[in-house]
Amino acid sequence: MAVAATAARPAMLPSGVLAGVDRTGVESRDPTKRYTKYELIGQGAQKKVYRAFDEERGIEVAWNEVAVGELANFREKDQQRVFAEIRVLKQLKHKNIMTLHDYWFDERRLTLNFITEIFPDGTLRQYRRRHKLADLPAIKRWAWQILQGLVYLHGHNPPIIHRDLKCDNIFVNGTSGMVKIGDLGLVTLCKDFSAPQSVLGTPEFMAPELYEEKYDEKVDVYAFGMCLLELATMEYPYSECHNAAQIYKKVMQGIPPASVEKLPSGELRDFIRLCLEHNPELRPEARQLLKHSFFEPIRASACAAVAAAHAASSCSGCSTPKVTMSPSVSMGPAEASLAAAAAAAAAAGSLSRVGSFLAGSVDNGGLACACRDGSNSCSSSS
């Protein structure tokens, strides 16, 4: 058993480091002295992740430590920009985005530390490899939730672009089936600390326009398509290539990974090809993908959740006092939790907010509860 270590309390360096920078949320140590750091549970090229304990809330969290020695050499305005971007990430609140609780700069170790949710079940890539028998409905539910998170990020002004979306950056709660996009803070730091001529991202998941550094949020849709391909085939995209140069050549020529042809479902293959559209102008937005027929079973479950809300409280727009849920609709853990939230909203007299419970900020993926002639149905919304 690992022995618990007390959280580091580094001393302040001379005042010249980060002088004049807005220190809101930025400290030289754990600013609240509330986190205890335990054993190392993960390590990558740019960060280390430790299991930690929040002494105030009594829950386990993840302590992410990112080496950013170059930060002390940044100009003041660039330092300000880095921390401003991190503060934006801390304000993100969505069921499919990993929560960032706290962060601070350790001036002695020259690291940025992030306290986030912890996911004992690991990344979606690890989880999928442990559970090899996942069927298409399970993959659809994961995909739906990833898109929900992307729509939330892309809906900001300006849009928040992940730039390095992959199954290694998506985390899963194995008991609830909920997935969350993570490592947004790390991507922000990599963008700021990379050399001017470098390209941010993982070659296998990078859209062609990302290589050219003229891109928008649709690069995340392309990466999402690659994530879906990996989840379906359990094969890393472009595994037939031997180096990044070969991957780059295929990507720029619009040649998809060989594993696309191994997909068992024509429906799934067509949907992934849509996400991997070479021309970003023809590639759909995340919001549009939620309305695709690929997700019809998920939308049916969402309709069932609306029905659950009606069952809890009469709809003010029709005379039907109660609507029963169709027994033919299969609801997974994610949909069941949404139905419960919708029912709670209905009981509180907030039926107008049911859509927000069902699909975050995306109008229930293009669905609206339509009460006509005393009946309840779901119809497409523009």
pLDDT score, position 213:
85
Pick from 10-24, 91-105, 365-379 the range whose average pLDDT is largest.
91-105
CA angle, corner 202, sides to 66 and 154, nearest 5? 85
Q: Which residues are catalytic?
A: 183
Neighbours of 96 (CB within 10 A): 21
Mean pLDDT to the nearest integer, 338-367: 48
Band (pLDDT 50/70/90 cuts) for residue 116 is very high
Mean pLDDT to the nearest integer, 106-118: 87
Residues of the chain within CATH 3.30.200.20 domain(s) are: 35-116
CA atoms of 339 and 342, how far apart (whole Å): 5
pLDDT score, position 88:
84
Band (pLDDT 50/70/90 cuts) for residue 129 is very high
pLDDT score, position 217:
95
Report the CATH fold assignment for 35-116.
Answer: Phosphorylase Kinase; domain 1 (3.30.200)
**Would you state the CATH architecture of domain 124-289?**
Orthogonal Bundle (1.10)
Alpha helices in the chain (DSSP H): 76-90, 124-130, 136-154, 184-193, 208-211, 218-233, 244-252, 266-275, 286-289, 296-312, 333-347, 354-359, 363-366
CA atoms of 62 and 52, how far apart (whole Å): 6
Q: Is 15 helix (H, G, I), strand (E, B) or coil?
A: coil
- Residue 109 to residues 29, 39, 69, 192, 297, Cα–Cα distance (Å): 10, 18, 8, 19, 50
Mean pLDDT to the nearest integer, 168-186: 90
pLDDT score, position 309:
64
Neighbours of 322 (CB within 10 A): 12
Band (pLDDT 50/70/90 cuts) for residue 12 is very low
pLDDT above 60: residue 255: yes
Residue in 158, 66, 146 with CA at minimum distance from that of residue 109: 66
pLDDT score, position 31:
72
CA atoms of 313 and 316, how far apart (whole Å): 9
pLDDT score, position 378:
52
Residue in 315, 319, 317, 366 with CA at minimum distance from that of residue 342: 315
Strands 170-172 and 367-372, by their bridges, are unpaired
| Amino acid at the residue 363 | D
pLDDT above 90: residue 357: no
pLDDT above 60: residue 189: no
Band (pLDDT 50/70/90 cuts) for residue 339 is low
Strands 111-116 and 59-67, by their bridges, are antiparallel
HSE-CB of 282 using CA atoms within 13 angstroms: 6
pLDDT tens for 14-65 read: 334 444 555 454 444 577 789 999 999 988 777 889 999 999 999 999 999 8
pLDDT above 80: residue 178: yes
Residues of the chain within CATH 1.10.510.10 domain(s) are: 124-289
HSE-CB of 363 using CA atoms within 13 angstroms: 15
